[in-house]
Amino acid sequence: MQTLRPEIQQRIDTWLAGNYDQKTKNTIQDLLDNKAYDELTDAFYKDLDFGTGGLRGIMGPGSNRVNVYTIGMATQGLANFLTKTYPGEKIKVAIAHDSRIKSPLFAQTAAGVLSANGFTVYSFDALRPTPELSFAIRELGCHSGVMVTASHNPKEYNGYKVYGSNGGQVVAPHDANIIQEVRAIDSIDQVKFAAIEENIVTIGSEMDEKYLSELCKLSISQEEIKHQSDLKIVFSPIHGTGSPMVPDALKRFGFDNVQVVEEQAMPDGNFPTVIYPNPEEEEALSMALAKGKEIDADLVMATDPDADRVGIAIQDAKGQFMLLNGNQTGALLIYYLLNAWEKHGKIDGNQYIVKTIVTSYLLDKIADSKNVECYNTLTGFKHIAQCMSDLEGQKTFIGGGEESYGYLVGDIVRDKDAVVAAAIIAEMTAYYKDQGSSLYETLLAMYVEYGCYQEKLVSFTKKGKRGAEEIQEMMASFRKNPPTALAGEEVITIKDYQEGKAHHVGTGSSEQLDFPKSNVLQFVTDNGSIISARPSGTEPKIKFYVSVNSPLEHTSQYEETKNNLLKRIDQLIADLNI
């Protein structure tokens, strides 16, 4: 007969006896009465941890769920951390939220706790994109910031991103130190929930104006935009914070013909028109694509609920819309930006871009060819932000991004920014159209110049406690018995970012990796293929990133070359036995 483990039962008893609202207690008791032990175990077997994107999980009662109590404890932990980190200072924190169910409540809860701790809290008057929160932190001189969002996760999820004074999400050791403060709270009664209203300052449209005004200064090809002001653009915010911010940015850049997908224009945390509000998924862009076909659009774009990721579709040589993956869009952005900077004589060797280790190394090649340094970081945009902060005042940041559809242009924000990315993507579309070309033709020209790169992400979802254990077992197995050959290619280097070493298989030598420790493995083959294995920090998944490349002599050979590379990817994945 299945029963609950004693430590889980103890956590449940604490919630049933503690100072929690009656509705929460009734829900827990109903689960007990119905012997829903699996659900109770998942809800109570641990506390929510900070990953690459902060605190994120399914909403509901329990220590491993997102609710006003876990939000409150996280916020009190943050408050205790800030008090110790900035002794004697008048601490300021900015707060924003997305369109998700209960996001306004959770933002209000966080604002209340922070105000009760004596902090000045700057709280947006309504939902805002994540990048604007990052901008506001630096603009207001805040010590920290909180964004209530679960990004592109399904509607059952919500989350809580914590930012530092640099406008980027907190990195080690601060993230661990915040959690340590949270875990030091013995009782929910130690959380200061009683808001002090005079400590809460409302932020309104004045911050929107400052943010958009700074964003517009990043435009490079104003003349080309003037020539192509009627560029046909379709945009969908997928029921999130991209509306009206992205259309407003596009208008300010000079684009007059932006068609918003009406059925997805209104913010709605139920995301009624999509299965997942994720611009990485073709299904999420189906309405935008239909609109694009209807008006013969030059560009189709969609942003996720907190408007920090953007997915795009362009027309191929046959006039059919094709979705670009995150690596392709990122490469095109960097290709455009560096060429534009070079054209305007702005590159002098003191510029740089930043990407993550699982993002296409095509970006490294493009940067190297332009005498622009490319820095690689661990997965998670917080590491890109930290790199930018470390180099502030020394070098000029042009742009950067990660394969998961997150990009940044310019340094007014220290997180991925779909608002500025959408505007610059539209600008580069206009630029190439003004040259008599298209984004598709530019993509192929880039491949001819630097090599044809193809990437694929394979994810396996492993839910619950047992799922987390399976993911760890899989990583342990790869470490104990790493592959020696994949798809007929010899594995020549194994990079273990948890160990902090790169092992060269042929010579038996090793070298240190200059990265923080992270549970990531990379296998590099003699044919230039790279396979990365990484448990997700924000979802119950293990992810495998596969990258292959080959020379492309002429654009007419693209389809054949691409298909051969995709076959290579399939064989590499098959040989991993995952």
Tell me which residue has tokens 């046909």: 232
Q: Give the torsion sign (CA, 325, 327, 328, 329).
A: positive
Tell me how far apart the alpha carbons of residues 373 and 399 are, in angstroms, rounded to a whole number: 11
- Give which of 8, 501, 39 is closest to 493, Cα–Cα: 501
Tally Cβ neighbours within 10 Å of residue 515.
15
Residue 508: both structure tokens together: 């038996």
- Give which of 18, 15, 19 is closest to 27, Cα–Cα: 15
Tell me which residue has tokens 């592109």: 152
DSSP 222: H
Is the domain covering 231-323 a CATH 1.10.1740.10 domain?
Answer: no
* CA end-to-end distance (rounded Å), the chain: 33
Tell me how far apart the alpha carbons of residues 535 and 459 are, in angstroms, rounded to a whole number: 9
- Give which of 428, 405, 451 is closest to 152, Cα–Cα: 405
Catalytic (active-site) positions: 151
Tell me how far apart the alpha carbons of residues 323 and 114 are, in angstroms, rounded to a whole number: 43
State which H helix or E strand residue 202 sits in: strand 200-203
Task: Look up the CATH number of domain 453-576.
Answer: 3.30.310
Tens-digit pLDDT profile for the chain (578 aa)?
478 999 999 999 999 999 999 999 999 999 999 999 999 999 999 888 765 556 889 999 999 999 999 999 999 999 999 999 999 999 999 999 999 999 999 999 999 999 999 999 999 999 999 999 999 999 999 999 999 999 988 999 999 999 999 999 999 888 888 888 988 888 899 999 999 999 999 999 999 999 999 999 999 999 999 999 999 999 999 999 999 999 999 999 999 999 999 999 999 999 999 999 999 999 999 999 999 999 999 999 999 999 999 999 999 999 999 999 999 999 999 999 999 999 999 999 999 999 999 999 999 999 999 999 999 999 989 999 999 999 999 999 999 999 999 999 999 999 999 999 999 999 999 999 999 999 999 999 999 999 999 999 999 888 777 888 889 999 999 999 999 999 999 999 999 999 999 999 989 999 999 999 999 999 999 999 999 999 986 667 899 999 999 999 999 999 999 999 999 999 999 999 88
Instruction: Calculate the alpha carbon distances from 431 to 143, 270, 344, 437, 530 in Å.
Output: 39, 37, 14, 9, 33
The residue count of the chain comes to 578
CB 401 within 8 A of CB 435: no
- Give which of 123, 145, 560, 522 is closest to 356, Cα–Cα: 522
**Domains of the chain, residue spans:** 46-209, 231-323, 453-576
Q: Report which residue type is found at 111.
A: A
Q: Is 569 helix (H, G, I), strand (E, B) or coil?
A: helix
CB 72 within 8 A of CB 109: yes
Give yes or no on whether 231-323 and 453-576 have one common fold.
no
CATH of region 46-209, choose from 3.40.120.10, 3.30.70.100, 3.40.800.20, 2.60.40.10: 3.40.120.10
